[in-house]
Chains A and B, each alone.
Chain A
Amino acid sequence: MKSPLETTNNKPKASLRSQVMRAVDSFAFPLRTSHYVELVNPLWSTHKMQARVVKVWDETRDARTITLRPGLNWRTHRAGQHVRVGVPVGGKHYTRTYTISSEPERDDETFTITVKAISDGKISPHIVRNIKVGDYLPIGLPQGDFFLPDAQPVLPLFITAGSGITPAISMIRSLIAKERLPNTVHIHYAPHELDVIFGKQLREMAATHERYQLHEVHTHSYGELKQTKGYFNDEQINALCPDWREREVYACGPPGLVAALEQHFEKAGRSRHLNIERFLADFAPVPDGAVGGLVKFARSEAEIEASHDMPLLRVAEEAGLNPPHGCRMGICHTCNTTLISGSVRDLRSGKLITGDGSTVQTCVCAAAGDCVLDQ
């Protein structure tokens, strides 16, 4: 039996499993069987992936590790990758991206994310304080290209700060679990000793594995709000890791650290050996004289005047639209849309995108003059 509009036959033949699923889904139309399976166990649903919170654990005063048991269709991450997590706050659904802090070799079918509450943030304090064991959160699949290559580096150097520890600890734990830990140096910045996320585990690892050398740099004294001791600088790295010129560097931290590292390795002509994971998309300076324009969203028939520096995703949201989005920092491509006409600026590189029909990442592109988007 075929429905009138289903008669195009040049599709590849569906697998037996998908044919069976289609037949079973016909019992649940207009929903899918998965919507009812979800009632029994949200982890079995296939129309969306969810994870159950099985444990919460405070790492520091403002950082918490959340252990999640993902549903069916989960695929194991590579150490260093991140995952999108949906969080309802005040009744509204938000999506944020967090690095997976556990190693893929973990065998209890769970993974962890470690979130630091940003004091004036909206979502992270909610995750750190309000998410309870037993909650279900929609999640995406692991993504991202910040992971150790299969031909693993002979001499890795990790430089991390604050919650930038998360991809590094996943990688180091993974190397240890595989019993393939090379000679590794790790420089980690944190306010003070008791404020180091995973501090105890890091020190234990350093004590048991002599090939893992940990250097903690504490930038604050207890009770102080302002930094008193040095951030990253040339003398520091020469003192802590004299052979840094021979090492492959994996760095993750706030924009200040990342900028200092980029400058340092550029000067030494070793930019190629610096691998960076950023907290936020790093925007290039917008050229003088840049102007915004009238943005038209063709499919939604909405139009709004936009400035030259506001990402188009936010422009669309200001216009009352609710376009799909994920990371909001240009990595997940959930917000991709097509440029019908006009031009936009990629805020990360400052480059103009003009070709009609080119793909635009709305979360990191802003209007450069009038433009029309297929959204």
Chain B
Amino acid sequence: MFTQSTGFPKHLSTEQIEEFGREVDAIRDEVFENLGDRDRAYILRLIRAERFMALGGRFIMLFSMWLLPVFGLPFGGWLPLSLGVGFGAVLLGLAKILENMEIGHNVMHAQWDWMKDPEIQSNTWEWDNVGPSDQWIHSHNVVHHTWTNVIGKDPDVGYGLLRVTPEQRWKPKYLLQPFTNAILALLFQWGVGLNDIIWADKTNAGPKKVLFKRFLRKAYRQLRKDYFSWPLFAGVLAGVTGWALGVEMLSTAFIAIGITLLGNLLANGMRNVWTNVIIFCGHFPDGVHHFRPEDIEGETRAHWYVRQLMGSCNIRGGKLFNIMSGHLSFQIEHHLFPDMPSNRYPEVSLRIQALTERYGLPYNTGSFFRQYGTTTLKIWRLAFPGGGQVATS
């Protein structure tokens, strides 16, 4: 049903693969040599925009409480209230997506370390996510980017929850995977945060107990902000307004708390689903290659490039889509050059495509519908045993 293949392409000799590696290196060097003011302006502008959006979203939600019908203020009513809170929540959700994908993910990949800006450094950046940054850096940069698509080595091949290639042995638990996948999407930041702890023994991340304690500490502060501090603020605002206008204070405050909770839940949920969808399009669509541990024995840097290329998939989209996906719509370029500033991926992509054509290598790209569609179909089909003959190309 699906084109499944493992291992390195057989039509290229070792010398040819090494030459491919040299050409990829040359592209990388060229870009790194002319990084400059333009790139710095890009990331600074983006961080500024994201912070404005987050702050704006939260305050729009907060002051929407004055639209509660009980106050009888002008423009009040349930419809304006839900529009106001909805708009604020979506704005906050979009900010969280930017913060997670184009800013946090890329800063922590050390894409902006070359600027030496003390504010924007991979080792000090903390993101708006329940998992602590350094634990994510370990599970993602160290483990996933090194062992990309090597079965049994890369935790991101199904995250231990899903069967995404017939290469994985079927187990009864996979029968539920269409359902598991939906839950994972909704709670994605928790999955990402716990990923490093679950795989800690295999990946030498450290003692689980310590990791978990630090995870809890970060998660507690995240939860406190979104589900305690801000709702309480809204509750106080509504309560005080109620007192001033002579309406029932306490119940009004509780309604405001509840509405803000829901708004923040929507913002986080939106971010969770979006990041899950984009990330699943990176390594699971039809045609992606997997590797067995024995395939990569004695792997050189050039082989690693080929594996990154064959194990990743792009999504075609416009400029805004690229930014909102953290340029993971250029997953192939991202895997070849994880520490290259993401705003350079579009220009590099053209050169990589031309290169793959000359070397007869695959370049897996397609519309969002094609990439996410085949990913979903695969998750449904592979819930059951079988699912395709594995071709060793």
Contacts and interface: CB of A to CB of B under 8 A. Distances in A.
A26 B117 contact: no
Nearest to A322: B116
Central interface residue in B52, B126, B225, by most chain A CB within 10 Å: B225
Contacts of B225: 26-29
A29 B221 contact: yes
Nearest to A320: B113
Contact of A1 (B38, B224, B233): B224
A50 B52 CA distance: 19
Interface in A2-34: 3-5, 26-31
Nearest to B48: A39
Interface string B215-245: 0111011101100011001000000000000
Contacts of A91: 35-40, 114-115
Contact of B216 (A4, A88, A90, A93): A4
A48 interface: yes
Interface string A27-53: 111110001100100000000100000
A324 interface: yes
Contacts of A93: 115-118
Given A36-B55, A39-B55, A93-B115, A4 B217 contact: yes
Interface in A82-100: 86, 88, 90-94
A36 B95 CA distance: 13
A307 to B, nearest CB: 23
Contact of A26 (B126, B214, B229): B229
A27 B233 contact: yes
Contacts of B370: none
A7 B386 CA distance: 53
Given A36-B51, A322-B113, A26 B121 contact: no
Central interface residue in A29, A90, A138, by most chain B CB within 10 Å: A29
B15 interface: no
B145 to A, nearest CB: 18
Contact of A5 (B36, B113, B128, B217): B217
B357 interface: no
Nearest to B127: A30
Interface string A132-174: 0000001000000000000000000000000000000000000
A72 to B, nearest CB: 17
A3 B217 contact: yes
Nearest to B129: A30
B119 interface: yes
B209 interface: no
A11 B222 CA distance: 25
Contacts of B115: 88, 91-93
A36 B51 CA distance: 7
B213 interface: yes
Interface string B138-154: 00000000000000000
Contacts of A48: 118-119
A121 to B, nearest CB: 18
A45 to B, nearest CB: 11
Contacts of A1: 224
A26 B224 contact: yes
A213 to B, nearest CB: 45
B36 A90 contact: yes
A27 B230 contact: yes
Nearest to B214: A5
A313 to B, nearest CB: 12
Contact of B37 (A31, A90, A138): A90
B30 to A, nearest CB: 16
Nearest to A130: B37
A31 B225 CA distance: 11
Given A26-B225, A88-B40, A4 B51 contact: no
Interface in A197-234: none
Nearest to B47: A35
Nearest to A1: B224
Nearest to A27: B229
A3 B221 contact: yes
Nearest to B117: A93
A1 B225 CA distance: 13
B107 to A, nearest CB: 12
B121 A322 contact: yes
Contacts of B128: 30
Contacts of B116: 92-94, 322
A327 to B, nearest CB: 15
A36 B47 CA distance: 11
Contact of A29 (B38, B118, B119, B224): B224
Contacts of A30: 126-128, 218, 221-222
Contacts of A36: 51, 55
Nearest to B221: A29
Contacts of A29: 221-222, 224-225
Nearest to A36: B55
Contacts of B51: 31, 35-36, 39
Central interface residue in A5, A138, A322, by most chain B CB within 10 Å: A322
Given A30-B128, A93-B117, A88 B37 contact: yes
Contacts of A27: 225, 229-230, 233
A4 B224 contact: no
Contacts of B217: 3-5
B75 to A, nearest CB: 26
A324 B118 contact: yes
Contacts of B113: 322
Nearest to B52: A39
Central interface residue in A1, A30, A91, A324, by most chain B CB within 10 Å: A91
B221 A26 contact: yes
Contacts of A4: 213, 216-217, 220
A36 B38 CA distance: 24
Contacts of B126: 30-31
Contact of A3 (B48, B118, B220): B220
A35 B39 CA distance: 21
B270 to A, nearest CB: 19
Interface in B1-51: 35-40, 48, 51
B37 A5 contact: no
21 contacts: A3-B217, A4-B216, A4-B217, A4-B220, A5-B214, A26-B225, A27-B225, A27-B229, A27-B230, A29-B221, A30-B128, A39-B51, A48-B119, A86-B118, A88-B115, A88-B117, A90-B36, A91-B36, A91-B37, A92-B40, A92-B115
Given A3-B217, A48-B118, A138-B118, 15 more contacts: A3-B220, A4-B217, A5-B213, A5-B217, A26-B224, A29-B225, A30-B128, A31-B51, A39-B51, A48-B119, A91-B36, A91-B40, A91-B115, A93-B115, A322-B116
- Listed from nearest, the 5 A-B pairs whose CB atoms lie closest are A91-B40, A30-B126, A91-B36, A93-B117, A93-B116
